[in-house]
A and B are shown apart, each in its own frame.
Chain A
Amino acid sequence: MMSNQTPDGPAGTAATTATAATAATTGAAVRPGDDAVAIPAPGAVGGLGALGSWLRAMNAGVLREVALLPVLLLLIIVGSVVSPVFLTISNFAGIGQQSSALGVVVAGESLILLIGGMDLSLESTFGLAPMVAAWLIVPVAAFGSGTDLNPYLGIIVLIVVGAAVGMINGLLIVKGRLNGFIVTLGMTIVLAGLQNGIVKAETLFNLPRAFDYLGSASWGQLPVSLVVTVIIFVLVGLFLRYHQIGRAIYAIGGNTAAARAAGIKVERIKIGVYVAGGVLAAIGGLMEAGRVSAVTGQQGYQEGIIFSVFAAAVIGGVSLKGGRGNMVGAASGVILLGIVANILDLANVSNYWIEAINGSVILFALVLARIVGGESTAEER
Chain B
Amino acid sequence: MTSSGQPLVEVRGAEKRFGTTHALRGVDLSIRCGQCLGLVGRNGAGKSTLVSILSGLAEPDAGTVRFGGEPAPRVGDIRRWREWIATVFQHSMIVPDLSVAENVFLGSTPGFVSWREMRARTRAIMREWGFDIPAEAPCRELSVEQRQIVEIARALARGARCVLLDEPTAALERQAGRRLFERVRQLTEGGVAVLYISHHLEEVFEICQDVAVLRDGELVLTAPVADLTRDDLVAAMVGARTAAAHPQAAGGQPGREADVKPDARGDVVLAVDDLSADSGRGRLAGVSLRVHAGEIVGVTGLLSAGVATLGRAIAGADQQASGEVRLNGRLVPSGRRDAAQRAGMGYIPEDRRAEGFVAQLGVAENVTMTVTRKLSGRFGLIRPSRRAAVAAPLTASLSLVSSGPGQQVSELSGGNQQKVTVARTLAHDPSLIVAITPTRGVDVASKELLLDSLARVAAAGHASILLCTDELSDLVICDRVIVLVRGEVFAEFTQPPFDRDELIVATEGISGTTPRVPAGTAEEAAE
Contacts and interface: CB of A to CB of B under 8 A. Distances in A.
Interface of A: 1-9, 35-38, 57, 59-60, 242-245, 247-248, 250-251, 254-255, 257-266, 323-324
Interface in B364-418: 364-365, 369-370, 372-373, 375-376, 379-384, 388, 392, 395-396, 399-408, 411
Contacts of B317: 260-261
B358 interface: yes
A257 to B, nearest CB: 4
Nearest to B356: A258
A314 B185 CA distance: 51
B215 interface: no
A273 to B, nearest CB: 15
Contacts of B428: 263
Contacts of B370: 262-263
B196 interface: no
B16 interface: no
A3 B365 CA distance: 16
Contacts of A8: 19-20
Interface stretch (B227-235, B337-345, B475-483): B337-345
A265 B338 contact: yes
A254 B369 contact: no
A7 B358 CA distance: 18
Contacts of A323: 358, 360
A257 B372 contact: no
B7 interface: no
Given A243-B380, A251-B369, A257-B354, A6 B408 contact: no
Contacts of B342: 263
A24 B156 CA distance: 57
A7 B382 contact: no
B338 A264 contact: yes
A260 B337 contact: yes
Contacts of A9: 19-20
B357 interface: yes
16 contacts: A5-B403, A6-B403, A7-B403, A8-B20, A36-B404, A242-B381, A242-B382, A247-B372, A248-B372, A250-B361, A251-B369, A255-B358, A258-B354, A258-B369, A264-B369, A323-B358
Nearest to B392: A2
Nearest to A37: B406
Contacts of A251: 358, 361, 365, 369
In order of increasing CB-CB distance, the 7 nearest A-B pairs are A36-B406, A263-B341, A7-B19, A35-B384, A254-B358, A8-B19, A244-B372
B384 A2 contact: no
Contacts of B405: 2, 36
Given A254-B360, A264-B338, A3 B404 contact: yes
Contact of B424 (A38, A242, A262): A262
Contacts of B355: 255, 257-258, 260-261
Given A2-B396, A2-B404, A244 B358 contact: no
A285 to B, nearest CB: 28
Contacts of A242: 381-384
Given A242-B381, A251-B369, A257-B354, A2 B395 contact: yes
Given A1-B401, A5-B19, A36-B406, 14 more contacts: A1-B395, A2-B388, A2-B405, A6-B407, A7-B407, A7-B411, A9-B19, A59-B362, A244-B373, A247-B372, A258-B354, A258-B356, A263-B342, A265-B338
Given A250-B358, A251-B361, A261-B317, A243 B381 contact: yes
A257 B312 CA distance: 12
Nearest to A250: B361
A324 B360 CA distance: 8
A254 B338 contact: no
B349 to A, nearest CB: 5
Interface in B9-48: 18-21
A247 B382 CA distance: 9
Given A7-B18, A242-B383, A263-B370, A258 B406 contact: no
A264 to B, nearest CB: 7
A264 B19 CA distance: 33
A59 B361 CA distance: 10
Most buried by A among B20, B361, B364: B361
A262 B406 contact: no
B78 interface: no
Given A7-B21, A7-B403, A36 B388 contact: yes
Contacts of B358: 250-251, 254-255, 258-259, 323
A247 B396 contact: no
